[in-house]
Amino acid sequence: MTAKKNLVVIGNGMVGHKFLDEIIAKGAIANWNVTTFCEESRVAYDRVNLSGYFSGKTAADLSLVEPGLYQDNGIKIYIGDKAVSIDRQQKIVYSANGVKVSYDKVVLATGSYPFVPPIKGKESTGTFVYRTIEDLEAMSAYAKNCQTGVVIGGGLLGLECANALKNMGLQTHVVEFAPRLMPMQVDDLGGNVLRNKIEEIGVSVHTNKSTTEIVSPDGKVTKMTFADGSELATDMIVFSAGIRPRDEIARECGIEVGNRGGIVINEYCQTSDPDIYAIGECALHQNRIYGLVAPGYTMASVVANVFSNITSTFDGADMSTKLKLLGVDVASFGDAFAKTSGAKEIAITDAISGVYKKLVVNEDGSRLLGGILVGDASSYGTLLQFVQNNIALPPHPEDLLIPPREGKTAVGMGVESLPDTAQICSCNNVSKGQICSAIVENNFTDIASVKKCTKAGTGCGGCVPLVTDLLKSEMKKAGIEVKNHLCEHFAYSRQEIYHLVRSQKIITFEELLAKHGQGKGCEICKPAVASILASTWNDYILDRSHVGLQDTNDAYLANIQKDGTYSVIPRVPGGELTPDKLIVLGEVAKDFGLYTKITGGQRIDLLGARVDQLPHIWRRLIDAGFESGHAYGKALRTIKSCVGSTWCRFGVQDSTTLAIDLELRYRGLRSPHKLKSAVSGCTRECAEAQSKDFGVIATEKGWNLYVCGNGGMKPQHAILLAEDIDKERLIKYLDRFLMFYIRTANRLERTATWFNKLEGGIDYLKQVIIHDSLGIGEELEKEMQHLVNTYECEWKATIEDPEKLKRFRHFVNSDSTDPSLIQVEERGQKRPAYEHEKSLMGIS
Angle in degrees, 0-180, between the axes of helices 727-744 and 655-666, rounded to the nearest 10: 40
DSSP string of 359-405, one letter each residue: EEE-TTSSBEEEEEEES--TTHHHHHHHHHTTPBPPS-GGGGGSPPP
- Cβ atoms of 696 and 706 within 8 Å: the answer is yes
What DSSP element (H or E) covers 107?
strand 105-108
CA–CA gap between residue 227 and residue 210 (Å, rounded): 6
Residue pair 531/673 in contact by the 8 Å Cβ criterion: no
Cα–Cα dist 355/788, whole Å: 34
415-427 as b/e, with b when 16 or more CB fall inside 10 Å? beebeeebbbbbb
- The rounded distance, in Å, linking the Cα atoms of 724 and 732 is 14
Distances (CA, A) of 340 to 286, 344, 538, 729: 19, 9, 56, 53
Q: Which of 535, 529, 491 is nearest to 510 (CA)?
A: 529
Q: Known binding site for siroheme: residues?
A: 686
DSSP 260: T
In the annotated binding site, the residues are: 642, 648, 682, 686
| First-to-last C-alpha distance (Å) of the chain | 86
With beta carbons less than 8 A apart as the criterion, state whether 487 and 524 touch: yes
The whole-angstrom separation of Cα 268 and Cα 275 is 12
Q: Within 13 Å of residue 669, how many CA atoms lie on the same side as its CB?
A: 30
> Residues annotated as binding site for [4Fe-4S] cluster?
642, 648, 682, 686
Cα–Cα distance list, 485 to 132, 529, 754 (Å): 45, 13, 17
Other Cβ atoms within 10 Å of 441 Cβ, number: 9
CA distance 673 to 121: 58
In the chain, how many H helices and how many E strands? 28, 38
Q: Is the dihedral of CA 806, 811, 814, 816 positive or negative?
A: negative
Phi, psi values for residue 84, rounded to 5°: -115, -20
CA distance 269 to 298: 10
Q: Tally the C-alpha atoms within 13 A of residue 435's C-alpha that lie toward its C-beta.
A: 37
Largest CA distance in the chain: 106
d(CA 510, CA 713): 36
Cβ contact 223:234 at 8 Å: yes
